[in-house]
């Protein structure tokens, strides 16, 4: 019998598995990553509601940093109902608090975190050509920032490291 086409809620998720490749750059199957996020929340006693999950799915499906208002439109397209900005911002806030989503400050946009299972400390390369972003982990950067912070007596709580430019493909396509 056909399933209710409201939201992806009950389908048994693809089995989450940790990604062992340190250089995978976030190339993961959305469904699997969302399932992983769900299981992470379960383990923490946090509530991954249908709406929060929907936002996370949309981010994974988008494939590039996505603005809050784009998410609103996407939800509305999918469900033929109105969604106010606070609803989406609250979902993003939750997802960020859980380390499942990161905000790209220089774009006012959001990306799903490729490795929520690791305690992440990410670094983003943002392409001006295709508007995609690549997430990388480089613990050395965090180390230097910690060192500099210590020098200043500064207690760091959040780090933003973003590099803008052109990815290999776009740089080749439009050399200038």
Partner DNA sequence: GGCATAAAAGCAATGTTATAACATTTCTAA
Partner DNA sequence: TTAGAAATGTTATAACATTGCTTTTATGCC
Q: Which residues bind DNA (CB under 7 A)?
A: 46-47, 49-52, 67-70, 81-87, 89-91, 94, 103, 108-109
**Spatial distance between the Cα atoms of 174 and 152, rounded to a whole number of angstroms:** 42
Report the C-alpha gap between 88 and 81 in whole angstroms.
13
Q: How far is the CB of 30 from a second copy (least distance, A)?
A: 22
Residue closer to a second copy (CB basis): 80 or 157? 157
Quote the least distance from Cβ 108 to a second copy, whole Å. 9
Cβ proximity of 57 and 14 under 8 Å: no
Least separation in angstroms between CB 132 and a second copy: 11
Among 125, 130, 131, 173, binds a second copy (CB under 8 A): 125
Alpha-carbon distance 23 to 6, whole Å? 36
**C-alpha pair distances (Å), 103 with each of 4, 30, 82, 171:** 32, 18, 24, 25
Binding site for a second copy (CB under 8 A): 25, 105-106, 123, 125, 127-128, 134, 136, 138, 140-141, 144-145, 148-149, 152-168, 171
């Amino acid at each position: 019998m056909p399933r209710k086409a409201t939201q992806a809620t009950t389908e048994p998720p693809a089995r989450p598995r940790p990604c062992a490749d340190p250089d995978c750059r976030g190339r993961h199957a959305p469904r699997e990553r969302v399932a992983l996020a769900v299981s992470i929340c379960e383990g923490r006693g946090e509530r991954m509601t249908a709406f929060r999950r929907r936002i996370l799915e949309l981010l994974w499906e988008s494939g590039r940093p996505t603005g809050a208002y784009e998410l609103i439109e996407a939800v509305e397209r999918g469900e033929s109902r109105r969604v106010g900005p606070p609803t989406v911002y609250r979902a993003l806030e939750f997802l960020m608090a859980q380390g499942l989503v990161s905000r790209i400050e220089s774009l006012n946009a959001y990306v799903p975190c490729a490795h929520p299972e690791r305690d992440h400390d990410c670094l983003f390369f943002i392409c001006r050509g295709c508007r995609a972003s690549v997430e990388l982990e480089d613990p050395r950067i965090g180390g230097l920032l910690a060192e500099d912070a210590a020098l200043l007596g500064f207690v760091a709580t959040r780090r933003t490291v973003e590099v803008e430019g052109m990815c290999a493909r776009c740089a080749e396509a439009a050399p200038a």
